[in-house]
Homo-oligomer: A and B are copies of this chain.
Amino acid sequence: MSSQNPNARTRILNAAWNLLEKGGSKVRMSDIAKAAGVSRQAVYLHFPSRAELLIETTRHIDEAKAVDDRLAPSRAATNGRERLQLFVEAWAGHIPEIYGVGRALMAMQDNDEEARKAWGDRMQAVRHGCAAAVSALAADGELRSGLTEEKATDLLWTLLSVRNWEQLTLEAGWSQEEYLTALKDLAFRGLTDTAD
């Protein structure tokens, strides 16, 4: 029973990731332990609670998926419209990667203050990205009249929510491609005066 290649902590994180990605949603600590080839108690040796484990799993995914690289093109955009488009593309592409854990974390929000805060922080980060795109749009004078930067940010942030992705792809059956074009469209129509 010697430990496999990566250390136990990493194996646990990978196990959690895999199981949550399959989406069974009812992923218990014991399931994760079993998948990691470790006892249930060993999981608590590395993570104090289920919430912490899930939060660490999102960090683990971010690292593996190089989230920052994904956002780089958007930050390098030379005008507001380009920035908005690239930001939407980046985030929309990232959603499916974190959806599994995100779903579990969202489900815990009512019971677990820690989980609530962790997921809230992540969503605030997305909001910052939205604010930057809106700000670039405003700088170009492209922001629709009758819309403050604040409100435009909230609107974009809401359009890009994980729940909306979930509803359109998983419930309504849209392809990722359809989702992406519809959302870019909606963002431009909602935030600017001339659609792209």
The interface of chain A, by Cβ under 8 A from chain B, is 25-26, 107, 110-111, 151, 154-155, 157-158, 161, 163-164, 167-168, 172, 174, 178, 182, 185-186, 189-190
Contact = CB atoms under 8 A, between A and B. Distances in A.
Given A161-B163, A164-B161, A26 B155 contact: no
A151 B169 CA distance: 12
A25 B107 CA distance: 12
Given A151-B182, A158-B172, A186-B186, 7 more contacts: A151-B174, A157-B167, A158-B167, A163-B164, A185-B190, A189-B189, A189-B190
Best-surrounded residue of A151, A168, A189 (most CB of chain B within 10 A): A189
Nearest to A103: B110
A111 B28 CA distance: 12
Contacts of A158: 164, 167-168, 172
B154 A168 contact: yes
Contacts of A190: 185-186, 189-190
Nearest to A193: B195
A49 B38 CA distance: 36
A185 B146 CA distance: 11
Nearest to A153: B172
A155 B179 CA distance: 10
A168 B164 CA distance: 13
Nearest to A150: B172
B164 A111 contact: no
* In the A-B complex, the 9 residue pairs with the closest CB atoms: A163-B163, A154-B172, A189-B189, A25-B110, A158-B167, A186-B190, A107-B110, A158-B164, A158-B168
Contact of A161 (B25, B26, B167, B185): B167
26 contacts: A25-B110, A26-B110, A107-B107, A107-B110, A151-B174, A151-B178, A151-B182, A154-B168, A154-B174, A155-B168, A155-B182, A155-B186, A158-B164, A158-B167, A158-B168, A158-B172, A161-B163, A161-B164, A161-B167, A163-B163, A163-B164, A186-B186, A186-B190, A189-B189, A189-B190, A190-B190
